[in-house]
A and B are shown apart, each in its own frame.
Chain A
Amino acid sequence: MKLRSKLDAPVHKNLIYILPGLILYAAFVFGPIVSAVGISLTDWNGLGLPTWVGLQNYAGLFSDERFYLSLKNNAELMVFYCVLPLGLGIGLAAILWNMKPREQLMLRTMLFLPYIMPTAVLGIIWAWLYNPAFGPINQGLRLLGLGSLALPWLGDFTFVLPAVGLVATWYFFGFCMVIFMSGMQRLDPNLFDAARVDGATGLQTFRTVTLPLLLPEIRVVLLLTVIASIKSFDLIFTMTRGGPANATLVPNIYMYQLGFQLNRFGYAAAVAIIGAILIFTVNYAIHRLVRPADEGAN
């Protein structure tokens, strides 16, 4: 804080530093966000003049079955976006942590790879992998004599959501693992020695010592994956466009359909705003609920 005062100067001289970035941000992000809120209060086909309808769009959403369906699908997707990558990530990190550096590096490099890829392209690749007629997955199943498991994945009501969800799990688990690895490196090795002296098994140590200390990482992983699941668009857009029969419809896809296919831009904006509010709420909840045990004490 002392430093700040020494580097500080009268406001008009400070503004040179912050204004260029802030103006750009205001022009192309914050301004449009505010306008979106405005549009959500109108009925607008994207061409003529918008008609003011107040909160009617939001009221409409509360009785919109498709919107509820999209929320329900999103909740189910969270299992694949958040829970599975989190579990797998912690488990794999615990194993990997003890490995020889060279092997560790190789595995880490492999497991992390999907996370740097464009999800839109991954969606296209996986749609091909899942293709019942031409795709490798079903061909592989038949080769293994498991032809009865060769389902029409992305066309099957029951399996389409898990099929899309598993791609998200595949995308995220290596990333989660790497974050947990770094968390484990932060921990004091003496704690484990102490636990071992106490006669705790590996699993017990993990549960009673490692896990609580990893809460900051768990929070970060939850935050990132939950937000990603609510924001999910690219993957579903390229794999199923929300189909079949809305089985993978999520709010962002619904918004796209409403706006750019059905020209109901006001209603679409309301869906988008609700989605944003959802993200804020979840963000806040995770910050409040998942907090390291010692945070209050310090």
Chain B
Amino acid sequence: MRNIGKKSLGLTALKATGSAIAACVFGLAVVQSAQADGLNVWDDYTFEGQSATIEQLNKAFEAAHPGVTINRTARTFDDMKLTLKLAVSAGDGPMVTKVNQGAGDMGTMVKEGLLQPVDAYITKFGWDKLQSDSLIARDRWSDKGQFGEGPTYGISGLGEMVGLFYNKKVLEDAGLPVPTNFDEFTADLDKLKEKGIAPFMIGTSKQHMALHMIATVSQAHVDAAKRSTLDDLIYGRGGSWKTEGNVTAASLIQKWATGGYFYPGFQGISGDDAVQLFVAGQGAFLISGTWYFGDMQNNPDIHFMPFPAPHGVEKPLTVGGVDLAWSITSLAKDKATQDLAGEYINYMVSPEAALTWAKAGYLPSTILPDNADFQASTLLKEGIAMWKQVNANNALGHYPDWSAPTLLKTIDDATPHLLAGDMKPEDFVGAIDADYQAYLASKK
């Protein structure tokens, strides 16, 4: 699960005539020769800043394609999960939509024929030159339901990384250096605790901060050169979650949670709350993703870096990926609509759109040209530099929950027990693996 922290209210423009127009457009689209002139688009950009950016991009696209109207519907992540499949299969959904990758949404929709491959457009527009194959592979599903291979069903506009946010001022006030490796990091934690400062700001009651933290610590143990085991796991090719790295990560987090390294009351506050507290100067470190840049940049003392890897790991994996993918649904029935949808997506992953996102403070998945000229917050500059490095190292890791449809629920159920200390780290990893193996077995 990725940016579930962004779960929020849709800023749908209220157009009384919207559905009527959509109906006319749809009626026209059935006629093969008709020029496609309208596109129903769903996205999940519901934060105020995101929403303004996507509206701006939509306007630019309409300006470049006279006569074309974009009917935008914004949906929260949760809302999208709940309604997208039903709406597309009912025929009153979008022609272009954001889809959550992984078995739960994209996998299911591909299986039911609700999405169309975009490979033709990848070739036509050269998207594979804008984004690395490791990113695009996350949108592939084979006819046999194999994740990570086969036709491509989408492409994303934004990148995501989970890393270490740190408050430089809190560290300086405590007389501590910014850690450069894992040992310095744990030493900082101990000293902060001695001084009565919460080393970690975290909230686990909503969003998935604990999951991201465990995955981050665990994947920092994996060298990019040896990433195939993790890739195999995620793409459902087999393997086991019961690795030493996973158990070590779970033990470490359990030790931190039960040993007073977490902000007190963390069980009762949400991830969003924790970010607010962190921005207000509480806690020294927070492990979460780039999607919080918008909030984090309100405090100039907050910086972002990769989680410090243990000794011997040269190019550690950084948990992350891309935001929900832009996909073409089965409701783009004729070639004209499909082509228009392709052009729309092409615009959304273009360097031009990437620059617009970056200017608004978000991390685009399309690598920005070096000469791109824009004012960015320190935080975003750190993020963009890290994105380049991680992609160059082929070191972008995965969200564990992508590997099986019920895994997020399983992790959510087990994590509070791990953090409370009443579940052994081995059993925690075991619970994840049991769910995963059951999924593998069900696919056979």
Contact = CB atoms under 8 A, between A and B. Distances in A.
Interface of A: 45-48, 130-134, 138, 150-157, 240, 243-247, 257, 260-263
B28 to A, nearest CB: 27
A200 B81 CA distance: 64
Which of B81, B203, B205, B414 has the most CB atoms of chain A within a 10 A radius of its CB? B205
Given A245-B414, A257-B409, A263-B108, A134 B268 contact: no
Interface stretch (B43-51, B82-90, B127-135): B82-90
B265 A152 contact: yes
B268 A157 contact: no
B114 A47 contact: yes
In the complex, the 3 A-B pairs of residues with the closest C-beta atoms, listed nearest first: A155-B267, A152-B268, A132-B265
Nearest to B408: A261
Interface string B188-226: 000000000000000111000000000000000000000
Contact of B273 (A48, A133, A243, A244): A133
Interface in B56-86: 81-82, 85-86
B280 to A, nearest CB: 10
Contacts of B104: 262-263
A26 B114 CA distance: 32
Given A133-B277, A155-B204, A262-B406, A244 B416 contact: yes
A133 B265 CA distance: 7
A283 B420 CA distance: 39
22 contacts: A47-B85, A47-B86, A47-B108, A48-B112, A130-B268, A132-B268, A133-B265, A133-B277, A150-B265, A152-B264, A153-B268, A154-B268, A155-B204, A155-B267, A243-B416, A244-B204, A244-B416, A245-B413, A245-B416, A260-B82, A261-B81, A263-B405
Interface in B359-377: none
Given A133-B277, A245-B415, A261-B81, A155 B269 contact: yes
B270 to A, nearest CB: 8
Most chain B beta carbons < 10 A, residue from A150, A245, A247, A261: A245
Contact of B409 (A47, A131, A156, A261): A261
Interface in B114-153: 114
B409 A262 contact: yes
A81 to B, nearest CB: 23
Interface of B: 81-82, 85-86, 89, 104, 108, 111-112, 114, 203-205, 264-269, 273, 277, 405-406, 409, 412-417, 420
A47 B114 CA distance: 10
A161 to B, nearest CB: 14
Nearest to B114: A47
Contacts of A150: 265
Contacts of A153: 268
A260 B412 CA distance: 17
B119 to A, nearest CB: 23
Nearest to A239: B205
Contacts of A47: 85-86, 89, 108, 112, 114
Contact of A155 (B265, B277, B405, B412): B265
A131 B277 CA distance: 13
Contacts of B420: 157
A45 B204 contact: no
Given A45-B108, A244-B205, A260-B82, A155 B268 contact: yes
B273 A157 contact: no
A133 B409 contact: no
B283 to A, nearest CB: 11
A255 B268 CA distance: 24
Contacts of B405: 262-263
A138 B409 contact: no
A104 B190 CA distance: 59
B85 A46 contact: yes
Nearest to B85: A47
Contacts of B406: 262
Which of the listed residues B267, B269, B414 has the most CB atoms from chain A within 10 Å of its own CB? B267
A263 to B, nearest CB: 7
Nearest to B78: A261
Contacts of A133: 203, 265, 268-269, 273, 277
Contacts of A245: 412-417
A69 to B, nearest CB: 10
A154 B416 contact: no
B420 to A, nearest CB: 6
A272 B208 CA distance: 28
A155 B413 contact: no
A46 B86 contact: yes
A265 to B, nearest CB: 11
B112 A156 contact: no
B410 to A, nearest CB: 11
Nearest to A138: B265
A155 B112 contact: no
